[in-house]
Amino acid sequence: MSITLPKVRVPYLLLFPGFAFLFTFFILPIVNLAQTSTQTPIPGGDTGQYEQSFAFSNYINAFLDNRDQFARSFVYATLATIFALAIAYPLAYAIAFKSGKFKNILLVLVVAPFFTSFLLRTIAWKQILGEEGFLVPTLRSLHLMGQQTTITSTAVAVVAGMTYNFLPFMTLPLYASLERIDPRTIEASGDLYANGITTFRRVTVPLSLPGVVAGTLLTFIPAAGDYVNASILGSPNTKMIGNVIESRYFKIVDYPTAAALSFTLMAAILILVTLYIRKAGTEELV
């Protein structure tokens, strides 16, 4: 007994579970969120009761009230992305080209942090950067840091935490694109009078560009919306837009503002990412 399906239907059947999932858990909530974002409190109603009044001014007010947090989010996310790239590129390069038989072990080590919860790892960073950790006393004794200066509750801690937490998302796509480079193109470059540095600049880097683009997006996008690092490692002065959205939703119960901020963040990220991909000009993005 065999069941033969008309060929045309197979792709749709395969797509169905994904579509159903996205529709239920992405499209519907987005529509709902959009509706919420233009609501205003019901006059005389309780906290958390809102009615639809197409108040697009919610967007303007939400943005104007939280300009600093928006700016901070993008600055921190950019910094974390740059640092992650600076750490991940040599790492991925070494794993792809120099690790020999240790390649698989090193790749497992890159993803090993995922075996522990994101929250737990961030809390651990609080310990590492704290007064009792090894870092601060060491830096102080070397006079690289003032006796009164601390790291926790500063922007440094938040950016460091984000860099650490998103590092695997940068490393893996970079590794994938570096590993795909045909070693003979590297040899060909040397054969054509390019020394090591020139070969790296003219051949290795351009060929790993799809990995750089993918890695920076996978780091930047979640980093821009992150609030865990800022709330655990930061202070009120390092609040990011994610923290504002979180407190609007869960503490102040100001759903319209939270929704408006969420949409603004989404739009801002979309615009930045589009500009970035245009600029990077990688048609063959992974």
Comparison of 184 and 278: residue with beta carbon closer to another protein:
184
Contact between residue 22 and residue 30 where contact means Cβ atoms under 8 Å apart: no
Count, residues near another protein per rule CB under 8 A:
18
Tokens 């193109």 locate to 185
Residue 279 binds to another protein (criterion: CB under 8 A): no
Name the one range near another protein by CB under 8 A: 64-72, 168-176, 184-192, 227-235: 184-192
Task: Tell me the closest approach of the beta carbon of residue 265 to another protein, in angstroms.
Answer: 34
Comparison of 67 and 202: residue with beta carbon closer to another protein:
202
Name the one range near another protein by CB under 8 A: 57-65, 80-88, 131-139, 178-186: 178-186
DSSP H helices in the chain = 9-22, 28-37, 57-65, 67-93, 103-111, 118-129, 135-141, 155-179, 183-191, 196-199, 205-225, 228-233, 241-250, 255-280
Residue 182 binds to another protein (criterion: CB under 8 A): yes
Which tokens hold the place of 153? 């509750």
CA-to-CA distance for 208 and 89, rounded, in angstroms? 10
Task: Tell me the closest approach of the beta carbon of residue 89 to another protein, in angstroms.
Answer: 17
Comparison of 119 and 286: residue with beta carbon closer to another protein:
286
Comparison of 94 and 194: residue with beta carbon closer to another protein:
194
Comparison of 104 and 198: residue with beta carbon closer to another protein:
198
Find the farthest-apart pair of alpha carbons in the chain and give their distance in angstroms, rounded. Answer: 80
Site string for another protein, 187-216 (x = CB under 8 A): xxxxxxxxx--x---xx--xx-x-------
Residue 286 binds to another protein (criterion: CB under 8 A): no
Tokens 């950067």 locate to 129
Comparison of 145 and 207: residue with beta carbon closer to another protein:
207
Taking residue 160's Cβ as centre, other Cβ atoms within 10 Å add up to 20
Residue among 198, 160, 197 nearest 82 (CA): 160
Comparison of 68 and 187: residue with beta carbon closer to another protein:
187
Task: Tell me the closest approach of the beta carbon of residue 220 to another protein, in angstroms.
Answer: 23
Helix-helix angle 118-129:155-179, to 10 degrees: 120
Residue 185 binds to another protein (criterion: CB under 8 A): yes
Residue 176 binds to another protein (criterion: CB under 8 A): no
The b-or-e profile of 230-248 (16+ CB within 10 A means b, else e) is: bbbbbeeebbbbbbbbbbb
Q: Which position among 184, 251, 278, 279 is part of the footprint of another protein (CB under 8 A)?
A: 184
Tokens 């509750």 locate to 153
Q: Contact residues for another protein (CB under 8 A)?
A: 182, 184-185, 187-195, 198, 202-203, 206-207, 209
